[in-house]
Chain A
Amino acid sequence: MDAPPKAIVGPSTFVDDRLGAGTFLKRNLRKIFPDHWSFLLGEIALYSFVILLLTGTFLTFWFKPSMGEVTYTGTYAPLYGVKMSEAYQSALHISFDVRGGLLIRQIHHWAALLFVGGMMAHALRIFFTGAYRKPREINWLIGIILLTLALLEGLTGYSLPDDLLSGAGLRITEGVMLSIPVIGTYLAFFLFGGEYPGHDVISRFYTIHILLIPGILLALITAHMIIMWVQKHTQMAGKGRTEHNVVGAPFYPAFMAKSGAFFLFTFAVIALLGTFAQINPIWLFGPYNPANISAASQPDWYMGFLEGALRIMPSWEINLFDHTIPLSVLIPALVPLGLVMTGMALYPFIEQWVTGDRSEHHIAERPRNNPHRTAIGISAITFYGILWLLGANDVISANFKIDLYTTTWIGRFAIFIGPAIAYFIAYRMCIGLQRKDAEVLSHGVESGVIKRMPNGQYIEVHTPAAEDIAEHIRGKQEIPVLTGAPDGEGIPPKSARTALGRLRTRMSEAYGTDRVPLGNGHAHDEEHEEEHAAVGAGDRKQLH
């Protein structure tokens, strides 16, 4: 094509004359984006959000956020004549009497599950590759706020239909609010407009769910994207990739098309789920009544860890001077969430303090190359996962015929032991993988060719690793270590003189010391040959 078509030239000139958009496009049309599958995890959340906005808008056209009592006269026979709230009635109406209503409702709900799931997977990718390091701390913090808001958005969303299951969630929310010392009862009365359940909470949640939180989400997601754009994406280590460049495909046309395709994949998978997997069948739950509850009442998955924490808590409660602190509610409701969120938020800064590293990082670390960080992350996942699993202990008990209390007791111990074991295993695995890397560099990879040595011994010939793999491995970065060693005159550096300073130095040594330095990767000398031979001798039996 020699010249752009008139249909494009006209409007572009119009916009450029008025906004100077050309300058922006000139700088950004060919912006380079590095390629890695894990860089698309965040896009799952982004596109789910877009789908949520679209489907959510559709749902608001029929949904009535009112707790006013009506008698159902719609088409779902087993509820005909039953008294219910207008909110529940309108949710039934969307499900059964609006063409495509059920599909859109299900797509909305599945997109919500994948929204949070995508965010978590994305956050884990960022964490394990150290992509939160300078200069990306701000975006990391924005991400944590986004995740917290998404949990709230989910809670307010699944409460809206006012069915029996969502009511159980609301009731637990109220119980948790009441447990907060000093202001708990006031908070609960202000949220519910008086005593639970009142007549206000659905309409208030509606405003929060469709306006307040989505507005903040939209603003923060925009900021998240702009900052990513300005800072340029991190890249994996590899040939020609340094801390000072970014290697990949240009935004226009390649990355744009890939992103577009991935949006369509996300939409397609969610549409498939919405078509073939029923979600939140509110008509089966029945209208909310605080006197009733179903077995196996669970929250959506992302709230499951709070549910699990509540379930394994022993019955602690403090009564002092006519006041009550219900620890059996307060601790599980606040501590795990607080630990995970605060820990995530502080991690970049704690790591900086421990390593003393103030430089910019644009190469994503491989998880194995920072074993303590990876172990901490796996440990946190285990902590979260055990609580999540325990949130479904009644379902596990019923379906796998394990005694209910046994699952609780296992959980009570596992929540402390599990993360410790996970830490140890993850750390050892990282070290093992690092050894494997060092071996690949120094010995090459197995070629599949078996050679017979003059002395009758069989060995497998190793060939040097492919260049891209070798470069990827060589991209390992050293973790800076604070030195606490005394200088020539026997005086330790200033930073290491206090108790905190000594702790910091020791942590820094533990955190940063490279247990498996990579070899130079070229040597293929006699010594190595012998090692091969030794390996070959051991394997000989299997060859015959």
Chain B
Amino acid sequence: MIGTGISVNSITARRRHPLARVAVVALALGLLGGGYALAAPNGSTADAAIASGKADDVAQGKSLFVAHCASCHGLNAEGTSKAPTLVGVGAAAVDFQVSSGRMPAADAGPQAPRKPRAEWVTDDAVRDLAAYVQSLGGGPTVPSAEQVDAAKGDPAKGGELFRANCIQCHNFVGAGGALTYGKYAPPLNPATPTQIYEAMVTGPQAMPVFNDSTITPEQKRDMIAYITHVRSQVDPGGSGLGRIGPVTEGLVGWIVGLSLLILASIWITAKKRRAQA
């Protein structure tokens, strides 16, 4: 079930790319006149069914942690000046950050971007790391496959919650948006249902927390159902123009619409140079 969900999502992500690129190219043409290519990272394929807590997983996770994370987060995840403590953040936070490629962070920017995972970051490695961090002091755990099964959610109910809580940052279809000082709300298109759930319960980076007692797991599943439904849905009116609203529409109106009409008017009124003295 989850497997199919993921493949649908990665297809979705890929199909979305040309549209996003069209919009970005239109923007670039109109705004900067330069070429600009959005480096769209590939959707990861995190296994949602990460169990946490087995003893050898913890040991395995600890060694991975020491090798890849301890330089910033400290040998015992107690935190350093560079990075916060991970005691109590829970397996969900680890799974979200590592499976989406955000951690280990490449360099200090306003915000760690989603990126392709390093080679050592296998699904097993993520599970082991999550188990290790979970063992340090509890925290939100990775949701079960059932909890993030979009098919079991009610997209219409989820849509109402999505509009109340998410779209102010992530935009009406999860295309992302700008925040202050170079930070941004990332697009939700590449995120797996598990990652969406984990983001809500852990509040990664600038994102606020939506804990399970105020927005219940069922309500979160409804929201996941809405997000995945809408992002995989066709745009019945043609190209979605990046689905970011009137900005790309205005650019297309001028760059495509008016330009074509001006070309037509030039053709209609053009005079062939007659040979004249």
A residues apposed to B, CB below 8 Å: 35-41, 43-44, 77-82, 95-96, 102, 106, 110, 113-114, 117-118, 121, 164-165, 258, 261-262, 265-266, 269-270, 272-281, 284-286, 289, 291-302, 304, 389, 392, 394-405, 466-468
Contacts and interface: CB of A to CB of B under 8 A. Distances in A.
Interface string B67-84: 000000000000000000
User: Which of A80, A276, A279, A389 has the most chain B CB atoms inside 10 A of its CB?
Assistant: A279
Interface of B: 24, 27, 31-32, 36, 38, 110, 155-157, 159-160, 163-164, 167-173, 175-182, 184-185, 226, 229-230, 233, 235-241, 243-247, 249-254, 256-258, 260-262, 264-266, 268-271, 273, 276-277
Given A280-B249, A399-B24, A399-B38, 9 more contacts: A35-B271, A114-B253, A118-B261, A265-B260, A270-B257, A274-B237, A278-B237, A278-B240, A281-B235
Nearest to A40: B265
Q: Is the interface of B mostly helix, strand, loop or mixed?
A: helix
B156 A78 contact: yes
Contact of A77 (B229, B269, B271): B229
Contacts of B253: 110, 113-114, 117, 273, 301
27 contacts: A37-B265, A37-B266, A37-B270, A82-B159, A117-B253, A262-B268, A265-B260, A269-B257, A284-B173, A284-B230, A286-B159, A286-B172, A292-B164, A293-B167, A294-B163, A294-B167, A294-B168, A295-B167, A295-B170, A296-B177, A296-B245, A301-B246, A301-B249, A301-B254, A399-B38, A401-B182, A404-B182
Contact of A265 (B171, B175, B256, B264): B264
A269 B260 contact: yes
- Per CB-CB distance, the 7 closest pairs between chain A and chain B, nearest first, are A301-B250, A295-B177, A278-B237, A397-B178, A40-B265, A113-B253, A276-B238
A265 B265 CA distance: 9
Interface of A is mostly: helix
Nearest to B237: A278
Given A44-B261, A78-B155, A79-B159, A165 B245 contact: yes
A35 to B, nearest CB: 5
Nearest to B36: A400
Given A77-B229, A395-B244, A399-B24, A121 B258 contact: yes
A273 B251 CA distance: 12
A272 B157 CA distance: 35
Contact of B238 (A118, A277, A402): A277
B207 to A, nearest CB: 13
B39 to A, nearest CB: 10
Highest count of chain A CB atoms <10 Å: which of B156, B265, B266: B265
A293 B245 CA distance: 13
B239 A277 contact: yes
Contact of A296 (B244, B250, B252): B244
Nearest to A397: B178
B249 A292 contact: no
Contacts of B170: 295
B257 A41 contact: no
A399 B170 CA distance: 13
B210 to A, nearest CB: 15
A43 B31 CA distance: 27
Nearest to A393: B178
B250 A295 contact: no
A304 B171 contact: no
A466 B276 CA distance: 8
Contact of A289 (B163, B251, B270): B163
Given A78-B155, A295-B170, A404-B180, A273 B264 contact: no
Contact of B269 (A40, A44, A106, A301): A40
Nearest to A266: B261
A78 B154 CA distance: 8
A275 B238 contact: yes
A164 B168 CA distance: 11
A165 B32 CA distance: 26
A274 to B, nearest CB: 8
Nearest to A114: B257
B156 A79 contact: yes
A117 B257 contact: yes
A405 B181 contact: yes
B173 A261 contact: no
Contacts of B167: 292-295
A78 B273 CA distance: 59
B159 A78 contact: yes
A38 B258 CA distance: 12
Q: Indicate the member of A41, A81, A281 with the most B CB atoms within 10 Å.
A: A281
B155 A77 contact: yes
Contacts of A262: 264-265, 268
Contact of B261 (A258, A265, A285, A292): A265
Nearest to A105: B237
B247 A395 contact: yes
B160 A392 contact: no
A399 B38 CA distance: 8
Contact of A102 (B160, B236, B245, B258): B236
Given A78-B230, A401-B182, A41 B265 contact: yes
Given A286-B159, A394-B177, A467-B277, A279 B237 contact: yes
Contacts of B235: 278, 281
B246 A298 contact: yes
Given A106-B237, A265-B264, A284-B230, A298 B258 contact: no
B27 A399 contact: yes
